[in-house]
Structure 1
Amino acid sequence: MRDLDWQPAYLLHARAYRETSVLAEWLLPGPGRVGSILRGARRKGGSLPAPFQPYFVQVAGGGELRQIPGIEPAGPALSLTGGALFSGLYLNELLVRLLPRELPQPELFVAYAGALGELAELVGGDMTDIELVLRRFERQLLDSMGQTVSNMHQADTHEPLRPGCFYQYYPEHGWLPAREGQRGACDGDDILAVAADALDTPARRRLAKALYRMALEPLLGGRPLKSRDLFAAMVPAAAGAIFTEPPPAPTADEEPAS
């Protein structure tokens, strides 16, 4: 196995398998998400990999579960606490749930490593700073899956959205004109700011959160995220600031014309 390449990797998820082994999911830039079996990792004296720790690994074999004959730390483990810890678990769960196996993800790997680094640097668990990290990564994940949320043009005419005008977002259509004060109506200024990743106001952060949540929900198949529920159970006030439900669906008189 000495001739196998060493590749950077992060552990996304691990669970016990049989008496002494572990089933592990990894994120690597080349092969993307990789499933593996770590035989004997739970024996006395064995070594269990940890999340949020950069590694170099060797990958061998084929099929759904690859072999990892070599694992070496690539740097110190990142210390995530409080809201940052739950947020890291949220990122890991998104990747395990949504990424297909064995599809190269070099840009997403860099985005993930950067998000963990930002979370590790947060002091005091500032919810706004955590929000910005999560929204940026959610967008990068959606982009990598070809699920980019279009925030720049009107769905029916493809005309550019205009500052000062109001629009309603319909998941199967896009942005359509709305009346000011209509439920779910958004100012064009905020929509364009979200498109530019300028989440500098609470309204823009709420809008980005709702848009990305609506895009992610169908991909998750309606199954709740365990990390989100755990966060809500442990820190309900903070969870409300970071994770929200999608905006209410349009009523019958607000449905777009087909």
Structure 2
Amino acid sequence: MDSDFRQAYLLHRRPYRDSQVMLNMLVEGIGQLSMVARIKGKRALKQNASLQPFTCLLVRFAGKYDLKYLNDFEIQTPPLLFKGIHLYCGFYLNELSHRVIPTNEPLDHVFELYQTHLKQLYTANLTMINSNEHDKAAVSEQIEGILRNYEFQLLCELGFGVEFDFDAYGEPIEVTKHYQFVREVGFCPSEDIHRSFSGKTLFAIAQGDYQTQTVRRQAKALSRYLLKPLLGSKPLKSRELFQPR
């Protein structure tokens, strides 16, 4: 059965066979789908130019089973052109989404979640280009907030979300206390301040406030811990782009 045209973003592509490519698309109102596209003939150059990351496409596909066939597509909006660290972050969003969002499982809101944070990243990119050296440090901090918010909200959509407002016993998180995170349980009150999260930090994460280095560092550590079971032992290649050269 053919689908109607839907918005979609390309997360990953690889050669398949002959003149075909395998695509992983994040599709509006559906989630992640695997599709085969035929790229050949006079339109091949134009098709390859259109099937690029960070481009909102309109796609129409067919197929009863898990593997779909891309029948038609067109560019809905021009591609978002990232530079520098923002480009690396864009690659990270794509690779993370491809790896942790299940294929062929209905997830209504992941498309909007991805699109919202991709556009936020693009706005941050434009701000950095037009800012002076003093402001660029603040924009760099903003990037981490965008990534952490996406990670935590995506985990919620996948059913692995964390409650930052209440502890494991249903009591409100208090800014003066410390909490240790226990997988599948939640945040438990702790007396060990060196191996736990302060309530103040948890409150900041819940509010999406990443102004302090402590909050950014602990939020990253927590997100990596939560994502590890979904990613498995295979590391994300995009993380290597952030390593000092």
Q: Give the TM bin, normalised by the shorter chain.
A: 0.7 to 0.9
Offset of 1:172 from its aligned partner?
A: 4.8
Residue aligning to 1:31: 30
- Higher helix fraction: Structure 1 or Structure 2? 2
Find the partner of 1:169 among 153, 174, 181: 181
Residue 198 of structure 1 is matched in structure 2 by 209
1:16 aligns with 2:36: no
- Contact 2:144-2:210 at 8 Å conserved across structures: no
Q: 1:50 to 1:42 in 2, by over 3 A?
A: farther
Distance verdict in 2 for CA 1:176–1:18, change over 3 Å: same
1:74 and 2:76 matched:
yes
Report deviation, 1:132.
1.1
Partner of 2:228: 217
Say if 1:25 and 1:36, in contact at 8 Å, map to a contact too.
yes
**Contact map agreement 1:149 1:211 (CA 8 A) in 2:** no
Quote the offset at 1:19 in angstroms. 2.9
Specify the code of the residue in structure 2 equivalent to 1:200.
Answer: Q
Whether 1:133 and 2:146 are equivalent positions in the alignment is yes
Separation in 2, partners of 1:159, 1:71: 50
Aligned residues: 230
Task: Report % sequence identity.
Answer: 36
Give the structure-2-normalised TM-score. 0.85
Relative distance call for 1:205 and 1:92 in structure 2 (3 A) is: same
Distance 2:172 2:147 in 1: 27
In the alignment, what sits opposite 2:94? Answer: 92
| 1:13-40 Cα distance to aligned partner (Å, 9 max, x none) | 011122321110100122211101112x
1:35 corresponds to which letter in structure 2?
S
TM-score normalised over the length of structure 1 = 0.81
Alignment partner, residue 110 of structure 2: 108
CA apart distance, 1:42? 5.2
Tell me the distance in 1 between the aligned counterparts of 2:241 and 2:212: 27
> 1:7, 1:58 within 8 Å by CA — same for their partners in 2?
yes
Task: Determine the C-alpha separation between the residues in 2 that align with 1:106 and 1:118.
Answer: 20
Task: Report the alpha carbon displacement of residue 11 of structure 1 after superposing the two structures with TM.
Answer: 0.6
The answer to whether the 8 A contact 2:174-2:200 is kept is yes
Answer yes or no: is 1:228 the counterpart of 2:239: yes
- Asked whether the equivalents of residues 169 and 175 of structure 1 are also in contact (C-alpha less than 8 Å), the reply is yes
1:119 and 2:121 aligned: yes
Q: In 2, Cα distance between the equivalents of 1:23 and 1:203?
A: 41
Structure 1 unaligned regions, length at least 5: 238-258
User: How many angstroms apart in 2 are the aligned matches of 1:207 and 1:215?
Assistant: 12
Task: Show structure 2 runs of 5+ residues with no match.
Answer: 130-135
Instruction: Letter of the 2:99 partner, please give it.
Output: R
The Cα of 1:200 is off from its aligned counterpart by: 2.9
User: How large is the RMSD of aligned CA atoms in angstroms?
Assistant: 2.1
